[in-house]
Chain A
């Protein structure tokens, strides 16, 4: 009798563990599926400086090129700004000015690496900076955008 009881005890324990394992696996699957369905899109902002040697058309072409690259990689461009020809505070590659351009986009983290590689390969790019935006930065950039719009509107009037 004692032996049987002990065996039963062990069996019960085993069953219990099995049930727990199955439950954990199901749970894990659910969480994993959820994660897969909502791929994290991060918010990035990138500024780059092109050489002042370019003509306006060439400048626009290069901007288009980078824009298209981002779109190809499935990024969503939230905003872009062209600051035009600006004086540099210190000379870079013996140039004292450059064309500034800004992109704000949503993309996966892996896109950034490929995108920066494009910068490095392009000789027309003198400097670049890509920054991930946190929630405060996003709020700020939205505010900034609205301010810019208002300014342009008042200028046109």
Chain B
């Protein structure tokens, strides 16, 4: 029994302590997401202009729906692209 606890690993076990994701809208008390603010909406969009999933941004379901709605409206008004490359590097 004592020998089992003596096992030594060549590389330390990766125990990554991740910060818990949170919904930024809930935290900061934003209730309405504006479709006219293209620069802000770019945070919820990847380099190709696709909407980022909740599992990456940590947005709550309630606000993810609103974000998606706002992004789609912004796209219609040509404030955001439907598809591009290197959206973020252009900034």
Which residues of A pack against B, CB within 8 Å? 47, 49, 88-90, 92, 98, 100, 102, 127, 129, 131, 134, 136-137, 139-140, 144
Q: What string of 1s and 0s marks CB contacts (under 8 Å) between B30-49 and chain A? A: 01101110100000000000
Contact of A127 among B31, B32, B78 (CB under 8 A): B78
> Quick check: A88 and B78 within 8 Å, CB to CB?
yes
Any A CB within 8 A of the CB of B26: no
> Quick check: A90 and B78 within 8 Å, CB to CB?
yes
- Interface residues in B, total, Cβ within 8 A: 16
Excluding A89-B81, A89-B84, A140-B34, 7 further A-B contacts by CB distance (< 8 Å) are A47-B36, A89-B38, A89-B75, A90-B82, A100-B77, A127-B77, A139-B32
In angstroms, Cα B82 to Cα A3, docked, is: 83
List 10 A-B pairs, minimum CB-CB distance, nearest first: A88-B78, A136-B31, A136-B32, A89-B81, A140-B32, A137-B32, A89-B78, A90-B81, A129-B77, A89-B80
